[in-house]
Structure 1
Amino acid sequence: MIKENGVVIKTGKAKAWVKTIKSSACAGCASHDSCEAAKEAEVEAINTIGAKTGDNVVVGFETGSLIKVSMMLYLFPVFTMIAGAVIGSKLAPVYNIDESVMSAIFAFSFFFLSFICIRLTGNLLSGNKKYQAQIIKIKKDISQSASVSCSQV
C-alpha cells in the first residue's frame, strides 16, 4: 500500500478532502523542486475512521490498483495506437489508399478512441472503493501528547 501524510481540509458524509504533505523521501531527491509529484495536492479519500477537519492523517492507496490504473492511462493508448496503425496498413490495399496515410488515420483514430474508453472506465471505477484513496490512520499531534504526559507527572 502506498501511504502519504496529509491534513484533512474538509469532510463530507463518508469522504474527506486531504491536502497531502511532501514526504521525507522528496527532500533527498535531486529533482524535488521541479517534480509534480512532490507538490502539495488535494486528495478525496474515503473516511471510515471519522477524521475531522484539521486532523493529521495517513492516506493509503492499494499498490495493485495504482499499477492497473497507471497501465490503463499510459500503456493502453499506445497499444491502441499501434493496433490502429497495423489495421490501417492492412486495410490500405483493400481500399487502394496509401498505406502510410491509412495507418496514420487509423492510429490517431484509435488513439482518441482509447481516451474515450479510459474516460468511461474511469467513471465506472470511481465508484469502486478498491480504486479510491482511504484514510487509514489519524496521527496524534506530538505536542498534544507531550503536554498530556507532562501534566500527568
Structure 2
Amino acid sequence: MIEEEGTVIAVQGDYAQVETQRRSACGKCVAQDACGTSLLERFFGRRTVALTALNPVQAMVGDRVLVGISEQGLLRAALAAYLVPILALLAGAMLGDALGGDRADAASVLGAILGLVLALLWLRGYSVASAPKPERQPLILRRLEAHSALVSLPRL
C-alpha cells in the first residue's frame, strides 16, 4: 500500500475530498541537494492535490488522515497510461511502414498517429470501466493525531 498524509476538505457520503501536498518521490534521498528532480521541485514549488477517497473511518472536515492506494492498482494504471499508447504508436508506425510501399515514410507517420489515437480512445474507456474497482480507488486508512506545535520562548 502506498501511503500519503492529507487533510479532509469535504465529505460527501462514503467519500471524502482529501488535500495532499505534492512532492517528489526522492524527497528523503541523501543526494536531494544535488539532484535534478529536487531542483525542479524547488523551482516550481510544492502544489496541493485534491483527491476523492473512500472514507470507511468516517473522517470529518479538517481531520489529518492517512490515505493509501494499492501498489498493484497503481502499477496497472501506470502501464495503461504510459505503456499502451507508446506501444500502439510504435505498432502503428511499423505497420504503416510495412504497408506503405513507395510512401513508407508518410504511411509510417499516419500509422503512428492512428495507433496513438486508437490507444488514447481505448485508454478513455479503460479508465471509465476501471474507476469503480476498489483496488483503483484511494482509501482513507486512519485518522492521524493532530500535531502539537511546541513553542519555545526566548530566554531573557
Report how many residues are paired.
139
What is the TM-score of this pair, normalised by structure 2? 0.81
Please give the alpha-carbon distance, in whole angstroms, between the structure 1 residues aligned to 2:110 and 2:23: 44
Please give the alpha-carbon distance, in whole angstroms, between the structure 1 residues aligned to 2:144 and 2:122: 39
Of 115, 118, 139, the residue aligned with 1:113 is 118
Please give the alpha-carbon distance, in whole angstroms, between the structure 1 residues aligned to 2:129 and 2:64: 30
**Structure 2: gaps (5+ residues):** 33-37, 149-156
Percent sequence identity is 24
User: What is the aligned partner in structure 2 of residue 66 from structure 1?
Assistant: 74
User: What is the aligned partner in structure 1 of residue 27 from structure 2?
Assistant: 26
Please give the alpha-carbon distance, in whole angstroms, between the structure 1 residues aligned to 2:133 and 2:147: 35
What's the RMSD between the two structures over aligned residues?
A: 2.1
User: What is the aligned partner in structure 1 of residue 106 from structure 2?
Assistant: 101
User: What is the aligned partner in structure 2 of residue 52 from structure 1?
Assistant: 60
Shift of the 23–89 alpha-carbon distance from structure 1 to 2, 3 Å rule, reads closer
User: What is the aligned partner in structure 2 of residue 2 from structure 1?
Assistant: 2
Please give the alpha-carbon distance, in whole angstroms, between the structure 1 residues aligned to 2:110 and 2:47: 38
Please give the alpha-carbon distance, in whole angstroms, between the structure 1 residues aligned to 2:44 and 2:77: 20
Amino acid across the alignment from 2:49: A
Please give the alpha-carbon distance, in whole angstroms, between the structure 2 residues aligned to 1:35 and 1:60: 26
Amino acid across the alignment from 2:60: K
What is the TM-score of this pair, normalised by structure 1? 0.82
Amino acid across the alignment from 1:19: E
Equivalent residue of 1:141, what SS? Answer: coil
User: What is the aligned partner in structure 2 of residue 135 from structure 1?
Assistant: 140
Please give the alpha-carbon distance, in whole angstroms, between the structure 2 residues aligned to 1:35 and 1:134: 28
User: What is the aligned partner in structure 1 of residue 152 from structure 2?
Assistant: none
Please give the alpha-carbon distance, in whole angstroms, between the structure 2 residues aligned to 1:87 and 1:22: 40
User: What is the aligned partner in structure 2 of residue 87 from structure 1?
Assistant: 95
**Structure 1: gaps (5+ residues):** 144-153
Equivalent residue of 2:9, what SS? Answer: strand
Structure 1 residue runs of 4 or more that deviate by more than 6 Å after TM superposition: none
Amino acid across the alignment from 1:50: Q
Please give the alpha-carbon distance, in whole angstroms, between the structure 2 residues aligned to 1:133 and 1:18: 10
